[in-house]
Structure 1
Amino acid sequence: MSAEEKLIFAQSLIREAGARLRSRSLSELKIHLKNKDISDLVSDADKQTEKFLVSAIRRRFKNQSFLTEEKSVAFKPGAQVWIIDPIDGTTNFITWKRDYTISIAYYEEEKPVFGLVYDVEADDLYLGITGEGAWKNGEKMAKLPQDKPLSKCLVDVSLKSISLLKIKCGIQLEKLASYIRGHRSMGCASLCLCRLAAGELDVYLSAHLKTWDYAAAVILINETGGAWGLPFHNRQAIYS
């Protein structure tokens, strides 16, 4: 099967997975939250979504490997690898039922082919194809400006990341506040990275990203001319 066939299938699949999550009402989530079994609900939703995605891909395509939030299996370099985050922004999912995503990235021979990030409640589908561009709901994203001053930049960083980087690396991120336009914390890494690629956000900083958080979204950043990296710790490999 060609990468194009896989992309067409993945776009339909990620929307179907999103529809399944949307069917879980906010009232249902609040009942779980009130009963303090939030960890069980999050784990259940993650596992069900991941199982749905992985099972569907395996039925359609043979000899595929997977790296996911809940489980990964051994595979050889050069394999056809799907990197899946079933729910990014789980606190948002539980508390507000918005600003959470599903991410699917497809890599061949350790190189990115395409990435999909679905903002479930907003019904916004972000797509990046290596060497071809990035799109939001079918509309191609423009290249990012390369000369924007820090004083006009909007930064997304959480209190947790500010604290961790100060404790572990001695980085005093709180001093950044006086040099930038403003700061926010959305609580969903993949969505932040997509909004960065779309020019709606200028800087995203985090002290605790995992491979599945960024594997799809960074393809959009690559295609719109943005820069990304893992400067504060050893770069996480796609292959474990």
Structure 2
Amino acid sequence: MDEKKRRSIFNHAKEWIYEAGQHIRDVIDEPLYIDTKSNPNDLVTQMDRNTEKYFLEKIKHTYPDHRLLSEEGFGDDVQSLDGTIWIVDPIDGTMNFVHQKRNFAISIGIYHEGLGEIGLIYNVMEDVLYTAMKGEGAYKNDKKLPQLNEKLTLDESIIVVNSIWACENRKINNKKIQALIQSVRGTRSYGSAALEFAFIAEGIVDGYLTMQLSPWDLAAGVILVNEVGGVTTQANGESINLLTNTTVFSSNAVINERIKKDFIELM
């Protein structure tokens, strides 16, 4: 994608994500209509759906040849990464949105011929926007973020991991995850994958492990982490597939190699 076109798409995405976030803040205290999807903890609200429809209308009107892959099903049936694809999570962290009215984000990753070109993650209630364009670094509210500390080791790190993955009733190697937790300086969990990627890019956490994410959960975050010198792979070290659910480990290169060496048998 040439620089002029990328900049134009970025400016539109930035304008639209701010508009969507402002609308959410304006109506945050109005009654919510809450449904469940795959399980009682998999929540969706009319705000998720309305926000996705907003992006669909903006994208299709402005870029009719672009496709949309998004969580609530209003986008296209995307079977390949050909062309330009917007991968959107209208509200990442819906449980936080419902219960806390904070700690949720709008996430947009824009890919062209399979390459991540633009990433935006908007912490709506804090009015903090993380952005990245391929080859230009990552930013927090227009302030450039430094590159990750490549000398930081696993035992010095704070890793984002949900404690649910250490439970015995999960179909994963919970003993390995427990050993990982014991190997690090500390763990955190914020309830929004997009924000957890953004916090890696910002350098306030050092890695993120999860055993299941959908494309819209990670598409923008991968681009941000790439632009500060980080690495995002599946938990076994293989490349991420943006068309399926996947395991994820994101960190600096040193920690990523340590995970592959000592904790690869997580599944």
TM-score between both structures, scaled by the size of structure 2: 0.80
Higher relative strand content: 2
8 A Cα contact 1:211 1:236, kept in partner: no
Describe the shift of the 1:164–1:85 C-alpha distance in structure 2 as closer, same or farther (beyond 3 A): farther
Quote how far apart the aligned CAs of 1:25 are: 3.0
8 A Cα contact 2:97 2:104, kept in partner: yes
Partner of residue 59 from structure 1, selected from 40, 58, 61: 61
The CA distance in 2 between the partners of 1:59 and 1:106, in whole Å, is 16
8 A Cα contact 1:128 1:220, kept in partner: yes
CA shift digits 1:182-215 (9 cap, x unpaired): 1111110010011001100011111111111110
1:110 corresponding residue in structure 2? 114
Quote how far apart the aligned CAs of 1:154 are: 1.0
Quote how far apart the aligned CAs of 1:46 are: 1.1
State whether structure 2 residue 167 is matched by structure 1 residue 153: no
1:43 corresponding residue in structure 2? 45
Higher relative helix content: 1
User: Structure 1 stretches of 5 or more lacking a match?
Assistant: none
The CA distance in 2 between the partners of 1:164 and 1:8, in whole Å, is 46
Identity %: 32
8 A Cα contact 1:165 1:207, kept in partner: no
Q: Which has the bigger relative contact order, CA under 8 A and spacing at least 6?
A: 1
| Matched residue SS, 2:27 | coil
2:213 counterpart letter in structure 1: L
Describe the shift of the 1:16–1:181 C-alpha distance in structure 2 as closer, same or farther (beyond 3 A): same
TM-score between both structures, scaled by the size of structure 1: 0.88
The CA distance in 2 between the partners of 1:164 and 1:82, in whole Å, is 37
Describe the shift of the 1:16–1:89 C-alpha distance in structure 2 as closer, same or farther (beyond 3 A): same
Spell out the pairing of 1:1-240 with structure 2 (5 A cutoff).
2-26=5-29, 28-29=31-32, 37=34, 39=36, 42-71=44-73, 72-74=75-77, 77-163=81-167, 167-169=171-173, 171-232=175-236, 237-239=241-243
User: How many residues are treated as equivalent by the alignment?
Assistant: 234
User: Structure 2 stretches of 5 or more lacking a match?
Assistant: 38-42, 245-267
Runs of 4+ in 1 over 6 A off after TM superposition: none
Describe the shift of the 1:142–1:110 C-alpha distance in structure 2 as closer, same or farther (beyond 3 A): same
Superposition RMSD on alpha carbons, in Å?
A: 2.4
